[in-house]
Amino acid sequence: MKKIILLTGFEPFNKETINPSWEAVRQLDGWHEGEFVVHVRQLPCVFGHALKVVHRAVEELQPSIVIAVGQAGGRVDISVERVAINVDDAPIPDNQQRVLVDQAIVNGGPAAYFSTLPIKAIVHELREAGLPASVSQTAGTFVCNHVFYGLMHSAHEWGTTMRAGFIHIPYLPQQAAQHPGAASMKLEDVVEGLRIAVRTTLAHTVDMREAGGLTH
């Protein structure tokens, strides 16, 4: 039996016509090597509903690893998220025009969960491959953080050995062309970056010890 790896990407939001996370992830559907096979799912950019789709996919596929991916317009590199926090505080409406403010994702849940991906090793390997990458200390408070927190909470509650985390990616060049000054990354580089994230997660059950924090 091959290990199942679930990759998720989001539908477009905030007036964009594409979401690079889905464009990248969909290219990896069915990718398999030796011990694993990749399945992908698209998530709606809607509080609550996005998490339902993730939970359904996890129950159905029983993946060993889940890497959720989202667009972070304006970020300059592949950002491997360290921490998900228990709050929805939407700077923009979701795709059902809902704006949640300072609402817990899980009532009574812990303030935060850490990624269980080898985040330092992933950043290290991405940089070795010539791809800009860094550890990110916040996944924001919109739908991406919502999915990340909900995913980590259920992994914790179910007591599974499933490892999970979140990666934010920059705009694609064609999106950045509409946002002058914003950074971008080519689709093929993002796809290669996600391949590296998958292989590195499989290779490292324990993370590397390498500085990746910030002073502010």
**Interface with ligand PCA by CB under 6 A: which residues?**
10, 13, 19, 21, 45, 70-72, 140, 142-144
- Is 33 noted as a catalytic residue in this protein? no
**Residue in the shown chain whose Cβ atom is closest to ligand PCA:** 144
**Catalytic entry in 39, 81, 124, 125:** 81
| Per-residue tokens: 148 | 């990340």
- CB of 95 vs ligand PCA, minimal distance in Å: 9
- Is 81 noted as a catalytic residue in this protein? yes
Please, which residue, 36 or 171, has the CB nearer to ligand PCA? 171
- CB of 206 vs ligand PCA, minimal distance in Å: 28
- CB of 188 vs ligand PCA, minimal distance in Å: 19
Please, which residue, 142 or 149, has the CB nearer to ligand PCA? 142
**Catalytic entry in 39, 153, 168, 204:** 168
E-strand stretches of 22-169:
32-33, 36-43, 65-71, 78-81, 83-85, 112-114, 133-136, 163-169
- Is 45 noted as a catalytic residue in this protein? no
**Catalytic entry in 144, 146, 153, 204:** 144
d(CA 195, CA 112): 27
Beta pairing, strands 112-114 & 83-85: antiparallel
Please, which residue, 39 or 168, has the CB nearer to ligand PCA? 168
- CB of 30 vs ligand PCA, minimal distance in Å: 22
Own/partner pairs, 153-156, CB within 8 angstroms, 24+ separation? 153/105, 153/106, 153/109, 153/110, 153/113, 154/55, 154/58, 155/66, 155/116, 156/113
Cα atoms in the Cβ-side hemisphere of radius 13 Å centred on 134: 11
CB 65 within 8 A of CB 3: yes
What's the distance, Cα to Cα, between the start and end of the chain in Å?
Answer: 45
Please, which residue, 175 or 201, has the CB nearer to ligand PCA? 175
**Catalytic residue positions?**
81, 144, 168
